[in-house]
Amino acid sequence: NNKIVIAIDGFSSCGKSTMAKGLAKRIGYIYIDSGAMYRAVTLYCINHNLIDGNLIDENSLKKQMQNIHIEFKINTQSGRPETWLNGKNVEQEIRSMQVSNLVSPVSALKFVRTAMTTQQQALGKAKGIVMDGRDIGTTVFPHAELKIFVTASAETRAKRRLDELKAKGENISYQEVLKNVQERDYIDQNRSESPLKKADDAILLDNSDMTLEEQDKWLYEQYQKAL
Ligand code: C5P
């Protein structure tokens, strides 16, 4: 049993989760979307009126952190993991533009990061895990056997995200999506707690001009080398 920990970090909408999910399925590992956890905390804030405009009621959120229970359950029909918040399936809701617009300030809060990091480390205790996010290789699993840092141009990423949102029926412009992608990049890279940053020992992948097949093949090769 030489299961390893695989950390996949990078900018928003660069296809990290598609890659990570594909690899996990292929090699029989657990896949964890750490961004979904920050999105779930954000949805909790929205549902409990802890955000007014862009202002987060930090004191109330801090007190209520213990009431936020996030789980991943496999959808028996699709075979895909889905995010549950306090006993409710929120997989669709956490992908909305409203959540996307508020998630970066919520995830910049130190006590939110501490709580999520602790849960993520517990999930990876038995290894055999692929986790994607922003700080997995730097903070959550600094000793991960394989670390990948994914990037692509903001325009390529906005275009991909726009296609995804349109497929889900959201009525939104390219400009709005590009703005959200750029704003999240900025906040994620410039926050003081675990900013988005390539770990020194992470392998850099720019997938702007790669097909999904090429990307999957490349990732599988990195996995084999890391064993
Ligand atoms: O991966 P996704 O784009 O769904 O993540 C949403 C947001 O959650 C990111 O823009 C970032 O602000 C935050 N995040 C984070 N740390 C992680 C994963 C996500 O701060 N490990």
**pLDDT tens-digit series, residues 107-126:** 999 999 999 999 999 999 99
Distance 169 CA to ligand 1 centre (A): 23
Q: What percent of the chain stands above pLDDT 70?
A: 100
* Distance from the first to the final alpha carbon of the chain: 11
For residues 169-187, average pLDDT: 93
Task: Report whether pLDDT(172) > 90.
Answer: yes
Contacts of 194 (CB under 8 A, 6+ apart): 113, 117, 134, 135, 138, 139
Residue 54: the pLDDT is 84
Domain count of the fold of the chain:
1
Q: Which atom of ligand 1 is nearest to the CA of 9?
A: 21
| Mean pLDDT of the residues in the chain | 95
- Give the pLDDT confidence score for residue 214 in this predicted structure: 96
Tell which one of 134, 150, 180, 186 to mutate to probe ligand 1, the residue whose CB is within 8 A of the most ligand atoms.
134
Residue 32: domain span = 5-226
Of 224, 201, 203, the C-alpha closest to 2 is 224
CA-proximal residue: ligand 1, atom 14 (nearest)? 35
Q: Is 128 exposed, middle or buried (0-12, 13-18, 19+ CB in 10 A)?
A: middle
CA 1 to ligand 1 centroid distance, Å: 31
Q: Grade residue 1 by pLDDT with cuts at 50, 70 and 90.
A: low
Per-residue pLDDT reduced to its tens digit, 13-70:
898 999 999 999 999 999 999 999 999 999 999 999 999 988 999 999 999 999 999 9
How many Cβ atoms from other residues are within 10 Å of residue 194's Cβ?
21
Domain of residue 131, CATH code = 3.40.50.300
Q: CA 64 → CA 47, 61, 98, 104, 115, distances in Å?
A: 12, 5, 21, 19, 12
Per DSSP, 202 falls in state P
pTM: 0.94
Look-up of token digits 């770990």 = 199
The most confident of the ranges 143-147, 164-168, 185-189 is 143-147
- The residue among 92, 84, 66, 87 whose CA lies nearest residue 167 is 92
ipTM: 0.98
* Among the listed residues 40, 4, 26, 6, the one whose alpha carbon sits nearest the alpha carbon of residue 150: 6
Tell me how far apart the alpha carbons of residues 102 and 184 are, in angstroms, rounded to a whole number: 9
35 annotated to bind ligand: no
For residue range 71-108, what is the model confidence (pLDDT) as tens digits? 999 999 988 899 999 999 999 999 998 999 999 999 99
